[in-house]
A and B are shown apart, each in its own frame.
Chain A
Amino acid sequence: MIDTTDHVEAIAEAIRVGPRVLPVAGGTKPGLSRASGPDVVALDVSGLRGIIEYDPAELTLTALAGTPVAEVAQALADHDQYLPFDPPLAAAGATLGGVVAAATSGANALRHGGVRDFVIGVRFVDGTGRLVSGGGKIVKNAAGFDLPKLMVGSLGGLGVMVQLSFKVFPRPRATTTLAFDLPSREAQLETMARLNRGPVQVDALDLDRSGVLVRLGGDPDALAARARRLCEGVEADVQHFEGAADAAVWRDAAELSWVPAGSRVVRTGLTLRDVPGLDAALAPFAATVRYSLAANLAWIAWPGTRDLADLDAALRSLGRTGVVLTGTGTNAATDARTGGSRLIGAPTGGSFGSRIRSALDPHARFLES
């Protein structure tokens, strides 16, 4: 067992001293981890690193919050298991705590669920310096408030995570990817909606500039037949990606390699129905967008030269909220109107959120957004 006493004490002390604390580790999402303002102290928790408990027969894993995702993924892969929520930016050095705080579920989360569906336990230091726990290390648990879920998307604003427990699954024994080249946006969206309803259950369903991308995973013997069924009734040229090519397609998605240089990446939840509206809203700004999770999610590459306030307005008009993940190319002057906020678009949580914040962080030691 790794002794975390010193780390926890240091975190608690930093919080008590203040004035404001922002936990950081891998730094893969600089839009979130960039300390803004003179009173904000960046608290590096990357020393909280290591897997605490992992029994493959248990299908659960507990690790310190600063543990790199890649380290965990490798340990799981050794036993043919995986984190089904497909955390992105693993190669870049993303950590478990960062993935939970940013709620970054990746493209392959479509099959079994996102970060919120797999985090089962947390230990964190709250805004008063108390080390507290929620959830547990078992897959099913209804005791007490679901604090592990509360940490998902909390952006370091409700506590500093120390340790996390996850449910894990056996990983698909084989995967294959199909790309459908469809003639119009309408056809693309119609195809996505149809594929998402089954009966063939897909692991990932994305829409990027090249078209609709579908990944199938499972028993290698059944994969070809399932892929054939998937193509039935889709009037499109289909390109197949196998082996290394299949892996490359999704590594490109996970590591955001498709994002044009100098862009900021904003992640926003939405539904398939919002796609034409977002397309239209983004058109004047030459922003690039990749829809993921059957268009429950959009990754927006916002040109660094453009004012983020325009995106803020666009998201508000759709009633959606965006998280500004990377700050590469941030133009402080043009972003003045959003105040460097990490959350843009429609506000969430209302007074429910502000009241819970007041309990976890009564002295406003953390950043709200």
Chain B
Amino acid sequence: MHDMEERVIGALAQLELGDRLLTSPAAMASFGSDALTAFHQRPLAVVLAESVDDVVRAVRICHRERVPFVARGSGTSLSGGSLPVEGGIVIALNRLNRVLSVDPDARTATVQPGVINLDVSRAAASHGLAYAPDPSSQSICSIGGNVAFNSGGAHCLKHGMTSNHVIGMTVVLPDGELVTLGSDSTEPAGPDWVGMFCGSEGLFGIAVEVTLRLVPVPEAVRTSLAVYDSLQAAGDAVAQIVSAGLLPVAMEIMDALAIEAAEASVKPNYPSGAALLIVELEGEREVVDGDAARLDELLRASGASETTATEDPDARGLIWKGRKSAFSAVGWLAPDYIVQDGVVPRTRLGEALAEIDRMSAEAGIRVANVFHAGDGNLHPLILFDGREPGAVERAEHLAGEILRLCVSLGGSITGEHGIGVEKRAYLSLMFSPDDLALMGDVRRSIDPLELANRGKMLVPETVS
């Protein structure tokens, strides 16, 4: 072991964390990846934080010793957002998992970063309130990670992303200073520092307390399924619904491959077809009834070969379980896959899908599509078998081409998974050298040593 490593471990040992300081090879191996296993790095040590003070002290040691650190909640990032830095420290926040308070009058909850997304809604349920952002991994992903990567979800169409629901936070800056941003009011005064922190991919430090907005649990929720004989037709239906002035809470599309994967996995009993459109309406009884009548008409007129709708919670639960398991379920179809996360303007969805289809055929690589159609947020799943020589490279090439396509159509290289380590090289497709230089300046103004989540989103400049 190098002197430096010994010194860092020695310093961490002074924190007297006992068995909450992990250094064994087994621990380092299991903390080596998040949900993007293409990347794996062994950290030097893992600190299992159980208090804000643990986080502050660990960060101060990292700052003093100039060791990079990575905050980790449940490790579910799909862009390698919580991938450790080799020789760096992982500060695990999953034990900081208390809902500190729920204020039904202000419709807010204050939580620790390790609280699981779904647990916020569970804690608020007795007040008739819920936390709206619902990433597919909501049963396990934590709020700290949601904040760092501005996570989305199927219901963002109406409710917005994580940053639209975070109004205040306490943050440990990369030198260990503790600052408070925002408040428990939805109305900020002065620059929206909270909004800036959300989605900063851990580069600004670690949020250790987060105040979230809650929404009333809708009294009626109606989920419709419509089957189309092409993805294009399903995409067109989405455009018609939007143009008609309806505002569903979610609009999702799955293609035949994605449906096949979901059926193999959680068996949601979807009607079969080339494309399945899921549309969810929620709100007051009268509003849902009125919107449902209009929606049914629109779906009929849009050429759906089959439509069904349900308000039964179990049936709806199964529909969403199938949708939300779709990424992992693709594991049934192929040994390996790459999940992409591009965005296109919603009016160009059909064009984008046709082009992806063409690119897939040309490359001879199967691509399953399951996506947030209402937001134009595509999730092409590129299927391959890593045991075949060159397969990984071909799949990565296709993934890159799809991102280029999204940008050329006026979209983005990520809607909700973040840049992480995975898409760092593509950031320059969207931003000019000046834009990127400014982002670098901003990052180093907060963290001159580039210790916090080094290597994610931006290429570090101060270290080679």
**Are the C-beta atoms of A133 and B196 separated by less than 8 Å?**
no
Q: Which of B160, B184, B187, B439 has the largest number of chain A CB atoms within 10 A?
A: B187
Whether A349 contacts B107 in the complex (CB less than 8 A), given A57-B242, A132-B438, A143-B414, comes out as no
15 contacts between A and B (CB under 8 A): A130-B434, A138-B345, A138-B376, A138-B412, A140-B152, A140-B375, A145-B199, A146-B200, A150-B191, A153-B189, A157-B191, A201-B283, A221-B290, A343-B190, A348-B188
Stretch at the interface among A15-23, A68-76, A191-199, A231-239: A191-199
Size of interface on B: residues with Cβ below 8 Å to A: 96
B189, B245, B247, B444 pick with most chain A CB within 10 angstroms? B189
Contact assessment for A143 and B446 in the assembled complex, using a CB-CB cutoff below 8 Å: no
Contact yes or no, B191 A271, CB < 8 A: no
Say whether A146 contacts B438, CB under 8 Å: no
State whether the Cβ of B347 lies closer than 8 Å to any Cβ in chain A.
yes
* Contact across chains for B219 and A150 when beta carbons are under 8 A apart: no
Check A130 against B438 for contact (C-beta < 8 Å).
yes
CA distance A345 to B128 in the complex (A): 34
Minimum Cβ distance to chain A for residue B283 (Å)? 6
Contacts of A170 in B (CB 8 A): 245-247
Q: Mark A248-275, 1 if CB is under 8 A from B, else 0.
A: 0000000000000000000111111100
Shortest CB-to-CB span from A156 to chain B, Å, is 11
Given the known inter-chain contacts A272-B105, A352-B181, please indicate yes or no for A226 contacting B284, CB distance below 8 A.
Answer: yes
Known: A137-B410, A198-B219, A351-B179. A116 touches B195 (CB 8 A): yes
B435 sits at the interface (CB 8 A)? yes
> Which residue from chain A places its CB closest to the CB of B458 in the assembled complex?
A144
> With A114-B187, A132-B434, A269-B183 in contact, do A352 and B193 touch (Cβ < 8 Å)?
yes
Of A86-94, A305-313, A355-363, the one touching chain B: A355-363
Tell me which residues from 303 to 354 in chain A have a Cβ below 8 Å from any Cβ of chain B: 319-323, 343, 345, 348-353
Q: When the two chains form their complex, are residues A140 and B377 in contact, meaning their CB atoms are under 8 A apart?
A: yes
Nearest A residue to B431 via CB reads A144
Number of A-B contacts (CB under 8 A): 286
Query: Is the C-beta of B408 less than 8 angstroms from some C-beta in chain A?
Result: no
Residues of A in contact (CB 8 Å), total: 88
Q: Does A136 contact B (CB under 8 A)?
A: yes
Residues of B within 8 A of A138 (CB): 343-345, 375-376, 410-412, 415
Given contact pairs A114-B187, A132-B435, a sample of 12 additional A-B residue pairs in the complex whose CB atoms are under 8 Å apart: A103-B188, A116-B192, A149-B196, A196-B105, A199-B218, A201-B284, A219-B287, A272-B106, A343-B190, A349-B190, A349-B191, A360-B442
- List residues of chain A with CB within 8 A of the CB of B431: 133, 143-144
